[in-house]
Amino acid sequence: MKLGRAALGLLLLAPLAVRAVEPISLGLALAGVLTGYISYPRLYCLFAECCSPKRSLSREALQKDLDSKLFGQHLAKKVILNAVFGFISNPKPKKPLTLSLHGWTGTGKNFVSKIIAENIYKGGLNSDYVHLFVATLHFPHISNITLYKDQLQSWIRGNVSACARSIFIFDEMDKMHSGLIDAIKPYLDYYDNLDGVSYQKAIFIFLSNAGAERITDVALDFWRSGKQREEIELKDMEHALSVSAFNNKNSGFWHSSLIDRNLIDYFVPFLPLEYKHLKMCIRVEMQSRGYKVDEDIVSRVAEEMTFFPKEERVFSDKGCKTVFTKLDYYYDD
Ligand SMILES: Nc1ncnc2c1ncn2[C@@H]1O[C@H](COP(=O)(O)OP(=O)(O)OP(=O)(O)O)[C@@H](O)[C@H]1O
Ligand SMILES: [Mg+2]
């Protein structure tokens, strides 16, 4: 950082020095500084975005982001932190990292994907090295499957050739045609390279609602038996998740051999959110809009949401989704 600033400082001060120094020497000196700046990748990458496979992820920064921004997801936080940090720190991974995020609507699956992307690339989801696919948006027509397959494969191949540490996020995985999942399968496997391209440093994140009911059942059992939500362990979820995943006949994802062949490294459960988590989401939104947190409005917005099961009203139907639009009503001036 210091060197980068010094180089920039030299460039900015250059006009003042012109009169004192002979023009040709000054030109050469400037060219030298510029060449050094551009050819020294770590410096260059401070100012422009790079694929920069050597850039290390800060565990502390990722942890801080997860702790301060993601509410009510102690399991997801722990798995994601360890999985992503462990993977990025490994100079020679044997296969790409594959995370499958599951859970009820509005519980933070896209949100956490964004946090991961931002911690690896400055541009986050807008980075040239991060690619988001939404099944219903990008692959809507079953009749075009062959075309989609070709496009998807060449997109992945092209992007990983350009940047080994590319991130691919597949949203609505449960609505994705099994043929398309089969098309990406080879890239997730333990190959050193495929047609000269190595996919071992790429990250694939799959998002779906598959298994949400079972995750919710476990969370509800804990709640009913008076246990803390934070007492839920990964092992309480893993079985439920994989069984429900296999049994879900409607989703293409589970028909394909992605799971049979153990190509998913981590199944990450997202718990349904409670009233107190909605309030946390509302507070954050108020602050980000520049308003002072008004606890009265926070409670009123949270109470407008619908909760299930009907009698106990424990979990929000829509997670933190739609709380923001409800907030508009109170600040519509
Ligand atoms: N656990 C959470 N902690 C903090 N904010 C959250 C959480 N869950 C959701 N939010 C907020 O709600 C918004 C919507 O959530 P998000 O899009 O991540 O849900 P999702 O799990 O992807 O839902 P869906 O299954 O419907 O796609 C987020 O952008 C974020 O602002
Ligand atoms: Mg989502």
DSSP label at residue 163:
-
Looking at residue 324, its pLDDT comes to 85
| Burial classification of residue 20, based on how many CB atoms lie within 10 Å of its CB (0-12 exposed, 13-18 middle, 19 or more buried) | exposed
Lowest mean pLDDT among 25-29, 93-97, 189-193: 25-29
- pLDDT tens-place string over residues 115-171: 999 999 989 999 999 999 998 899 999 899 999 999 999 999 999 999 999 999 999
CA of 304 to the centre of ligand 1 (A): 18
The answer to whether residue 322 scores a pLDDT higher than 50 is yes
Lowest mean pLDDT among 24-28, 96-100, 207-211, 238-242: 24-28
Looking at residue 15, its pLDDT comes to 41
Which ligand sits closest to the CA of 69? Answer: 1
Q: Which residues share a beta bridge with 316?
A: 307
Q: For atom 11 of ligand 1, which residue has the closest CA?
A: 320
Which ligand sits closest to the CA of 215? Answer: 1
Looking at residue 251, its pLDDT comes to 57
Looking at residue 211, its pLDDT comes to 86
Which amino acids bring their CB within 6 angstroms of ligand 1? 69-73, 105-111, 209, 281, 319-321
- pLDDT tens-place string over residues 80-92: 999 999 999 999 9
Looking at residue 53, its pLDDT comes to 53
CB-based contact 298:287 (threshold 8 Å): no
SS3 308: strand
Lowest mean pLDDT among 57-66, 194-203, 212-221, 231-240: 231-240
**Which string of DSSP letters, residue by residue, matches 195-215?**
TTB--TT-EEEEEE-TTHHHH
Which ligand sits closest to the CA of 116? Answer: 1
Residue 27: half-sphere exposure toward Cβ, Cα within 13 Å: 3
Tokens of 22: 């002979």
DSSP label at residue 252:
H
Looking at residue 18, its pLDDT comes to 41
- pLDDT tens-place string over residues 109-123: 999 999 999 999 989
CA of 120 to the centre of ligand 1 (A): 20
Q: For atom 26 of ligand 1, which residue has the closest CA?
A: 105
- pLDDT tens-place string over residues 15-33: 434 445 566 666 666 665 5
Looking at residue 259, its pLDDT comes to 72
More confident residue, 225 or 54: 225
Separation between Cα atoms, residue 314 and residue 307, nearest integer Å? 6
pTM: 0.86
Separation between Cα atoms, residue 113 and residue 119, nearest integer Å? 10
